[in-house]
């Protein structure tokens, strides 16, 4: 199995949303028997909690399924996970600091680095690659989060599908 872990702060908003959306794309591509998707947070504030009710509502309205219990990222996961997708720059820094080897640190990528429009905007100084934390706002922040997550999925799925194909061929 090719393992992808999405990571945000508390594992109740952004990372479970990305997990649910990616799992749907993986299933639609017929790769669900080859790709395992999960999520975690950098902190332990919400351990064992379900996803934020606004995350669940926005996902349900968009047709995505999510069953979730918040977890904290464990450094040992670097060995098992093939790709660790951070939802913002701070998460990426924290994850790279946890890595013991360069190979582990190289597994950390920003979700929006898979969105060509976000990369172009960042390159021209019009934005960054972080998905803003919607936690302290209203539902519209969660809807924006979903839009940003969905925009990155084609690029992420393409990279993961190519990696799975290479692994299967080897």
Of 5, 13, 14, 145, the catalytic one is: 14
Residue ranges covered by each domain of the chain: 2-169
**Which runs of consecutive H residues, i.e. helices, occur in the chain?**
14-28, 53-61, 77-80, 89-98, 102-105, 116-123, 139-169
Strands 108-110 and 35-41: unpaired
- For residue 134, what pLDDT is reported? 97
Is there a catalytic annotation at residue 5?
A: no
User: What is the percentage of the chain residues whose pLDDT exceeds 90?
Assistant: 94
pLDDT at residue 170, as a whole number? 77
Contacts of 144 (CB under 8 A, 6+ apart): 132, 134
**Residue 125, Ramachandran bin (φ over 0: left; ψ between -120 and 50: alpha; else beta):** left
Identified catalytic residue from 32, 49, 128, 133: 133
**Average confidence (pLDDT) over 109-118:** 97
- Under CATH, what is the fold of the domain 2-169? Rossmann fold (3.40.50)
Q: Residue 124 — pLDDT band, cuts 50, 70, 90?
A: confident
27 is catalytic: no
Establish whether 102 is a catalytic residue.
Answer: no
| Residue whose token pair is 């429009």 | 117
In tens, the pLDDT along 3-48 reads 999 999 999 999 999 999 999 999 999 999 999 999 999 999 999 9
- Kindly give, in sequence order, each residue whose CB lies less than 8 Å from that of residue 161, ignoring residues fewer than 6 positions away: 29, 31
pTM to 2 decimal places? 0.96
Burial of residue 170 (CB within 10 Å: 0-12, 13-18, 19+) is: exposed
């Amino acid at each position: 199995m090719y393992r992808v872990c999405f990571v945000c702060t508390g594992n109740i908003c952004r990372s479970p949303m990305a997990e649910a959306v990616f799992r749907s794309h993986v299933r639609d591509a017929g790769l669900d028997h080859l790709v395992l998707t999960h999520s975690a947070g950098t902190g332990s504030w919400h351990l064992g909690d379900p996803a934020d009710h606004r995350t669940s509502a926005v996902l349900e309205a968009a047709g995505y399924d999510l069953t979730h219990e918040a977890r904290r990222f464990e450094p040992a996961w670097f060995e098992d996970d093939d790709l660790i997708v951070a939802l913002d720059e701070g998460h990426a820094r924290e994850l790279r600091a946890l890595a013991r080897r360069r190979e582990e640190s190289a597994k950390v990528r920003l979700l929006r680095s898979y969105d060509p429009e976000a990369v172009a905007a960042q390159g021209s100084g019009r934005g960054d690659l972080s998905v803003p934390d919607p936690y302290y706002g209203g539902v519209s922040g969660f809807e924006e989060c979903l839009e940003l997550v969905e925009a990155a999925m084609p690029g992420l799925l393409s990279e993961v599908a190519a990696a799975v194909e290479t692994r299967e061929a080897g």
